[in-house]
A and B are shown apart, each in its own frame.
Chain A
Amino acid sequence: MAEAGGVGSPTPDSAGLYRTVRLIRRFEEHAVELVHAGHVFGGIHPYTGQEAIAAGTCAALREDDLITSTHRGHGHVLAKGADPARMMAEIAGRATGLNQGRGGSMHAADFGIGILGANAIVGAAAPIATGAAWAARCAGSDRVVVTYFGDGAVSQGVVLETFNLASLWHAPVVFVCENNGFATTTRTADAVAGSITGRAEAFGIPAERVDGMDPEAVFAATARAVERARRQEGPTLLECVTYRYDAHHTWEHAARPRYRTPEEVQLGRFLDPLDIQGARIDDGLRARIDADIEALLDEAVRFALDSPHPDPATALDHLYADGTIARAGAL
């Protein structure tokens, strides 16, 4: 388990954490509405229920720290500071989106603020984050990289290989495992032998199991892990135990695969990061934050839907960094 560290306890910004949780929750609810209204080509993997993890981890980072995200990545991208309007536009496939409509929900990136991209292959970002962390340290920086992945990823070989190298190199990386209980529809207990923390510990990486529904608990654990990484003491794994309220992907809303009962979901929703964090600030402040966020997201949706679609003639733009032109499919 993680060492206590020598930094004392950094103070959480309770209102700031509540604001981020609320922003993500309402963003996701708006995004699902856009999916149902037909404004999103395909669908999304809603982050609802897991907001405390993105909010708590990113609150412990500096602006110049880096993150990699997952297929369920809206929360991470928003918590790291991406513009909700440009994020909504990306999900809606518009030219004004973070990736100019070329990435979509699963690939949102904003390199200017350290978001090295959401990644649609489970576990694939772990080595990318570790490589960026290695490069940052070689360059003499004390930047830290947080890489998110789910409980499903701890059975990907590349993640375990990455644990090994990150530990050997004392890479300044924090592995944040969001254990929401399911790899798509498969329960963690049916997919993970041993334990998630045990896998990291086997490689000499301190690991901590954290209440992933409590933003301040996540913040405190991340602050310790980040401090360790900055002191060049190596990586930490945080297993944040959480519950996914909504579908694995919005296709479930129509397909309705049966892998958990409505009663179980009701029970899972009993713990809500919004309530937990909302109870820590006064009601008046909470109401003002809620109102701010409604206005912000109304504007984000308006911006996204008013934005132009990308020009089909530009579909291969950016394929090569040096402008190499690919041959067309019909000549």
Chain B
Amino acid sequence: MTILSYLKALNRAVSDEMARDPAVCVFGEDVRVAVTNVTAGLVKKFGPERVLDMPISEQAFTGIATGAAMAGRRPLIEYQIPALLFIAFEQIVNQAHKFSLMTGGQTRVPVTYLIPSSGSRDGWAGQHSDHPYSLFAHVGVKTAVPATPADAYGLLVSAIRDDDPVVVFAPAGAMGRREDVDLAQLAPVPLGVGRTHRAGTDVTVVAVGHLVHDALEVAEELADTIDVEVFDPRSLYPFDWQGLAASLERTGRLVVIDDSNRSCGIGGEILATAAEQMRLVAPPKRITRPDGAVLPFAEGLDRALQPTREQLRHAIHGVMKAGETKKEERP
């Protein structure tokens, strides 16, 4: 067994895919020097023709990746800052994503957009701390948010091999994770298949990205009184609705913890879908950032707007209580 860090898992995924498929290439700012370390060693291994440093021109190089993909390449773009996705939103959503349908299936656009350190990363303030994965799920761009090193490896490999555009968010809150793994066992993780990190019978907590680890800690704390199941969807689009339904079949109670802003975040979609189609014995709850959150700079202010374990504990107790009332009302 080997200790694999989340960061090394991303690096290994890109390196393995570049070795496996000569069509794979890397575009980004400072990727040769590898300031994020995700692309460390790649230019030495694969040469400057496949690892391209870009000027500060996110719109152009995102569009260039689309054209290169239509001509047979599989570019991976690294954006150093999650908000750069807003600059390139047109090129990803309105161009790359739409070509397959608009052309009647004449072309495909296999580009991966990787954001290492998404969400709050301590002290980077309003314009570097967003976590906009729900935007991409909303527009239907395939979106993955791995929580663990092995899943980071597996989901990034799947994203690179996917024939559609895929955005991979690597949450800053998960980037420091390490995991004891058998490197030979590392494998692609299919998009659209969730993972039950902890089985339980009382309540299903759906946790996204780094919040999986918070959910697991809370579940252990509560283990004597409440049996919490922790479900990690891993990809938000496509979403493993079957996996969620199976979990709720067992528990009937749902809490979502999601680092999105509240309005129109994936947490809202999970609650709505569960309410429409799945077994619930208590009104579900979600923990999110506030509506329209802009993360303020000061540490206490930054933390005040992110989902917390305390909020999660409270929500779990809330759905348990509501569920009990409901049970009593049953004939």
Q: Which residues of A contact B (CB under 8 A)?
A: 66, 68, 97-103, 107, 109-112, 116-117, 119, 121, 124, 126-136, 138-139, 157-158, 161-162, 164-165, 168, 316-322, 324, 326, 331
Contact = CB atoms under 8 A, between A and B. Distances in A.
A32 B62 CA distance: 36
Given A109-B103, A130-B60, A130-B64, 12 more contacts: A97-B104, A103-B103, A127-B59, A127-B63, A131-B65, A135-B71, A165-B60, A168-B55, A317-B101, A318-B100, A318-B105, A321-B109
B64 A131 contact: yes
B140 A128 contact: no
Contacts of B69: 131
A322 B164 contact: yes
Nearest to A147: B67
Contact of B102 (A117, A129, A139, A168): A117
B163 interface: yes
B100 A131 contact: no
Contacts of A157: 59
7 contacts: A109-B102, A127-B64, A131-B65, A157-B59, A158-B91, A316-B101, A319-B140
Interface string B83-114: 00000001100110001111111111110000
B57 A326 contact: no
Task: Kindly name the residue among B63, B69, B163, B277 whose own CB sees the greatest number of chain A CB atoms within 10 A.
Answer: B63
A107 B103 contact: yes
A317 B67 contact: no
B61 A128 contact: no
Given A111-B106, A121-B95, A326-B140, A321 B164 contact: yes
Nearest to B64: A131
A215 to B, nearest CB: 28
B102 A164 contact: no
Nearest to B56: A161
A81 to B, nearest CB: 15
Interface in B213-234: none
Nearest to A168: B55
B192 interface: yes
B32 to A, nearest CB: 15
A164 B60 contact: yes
Residue of A110, A135, A136, A324 with highest tally of chain B CB at under 10 A = A135
B60 A127 contact: yes
Given A128-B67, A131-B67, A321-B163, A102 B103 contact: yes
Contacts of B131: none
A103 B101 CA distance: 8
Contacts of A131: 63-71
B240 interface: no
Contacts of B106: 99, 109-112
A109 B57 contact: no
Contacts of B94: 121, 124
B310 interface: no
B238 interface: yes
B63 A99 contact: no
A324 B164 contact: yes
Interface in B17-68: 49, 54-55, 57, 59-68
B89 to A, nearest CB: 12
Nearest to A131: B67
B94 to A, nearest CB: 6
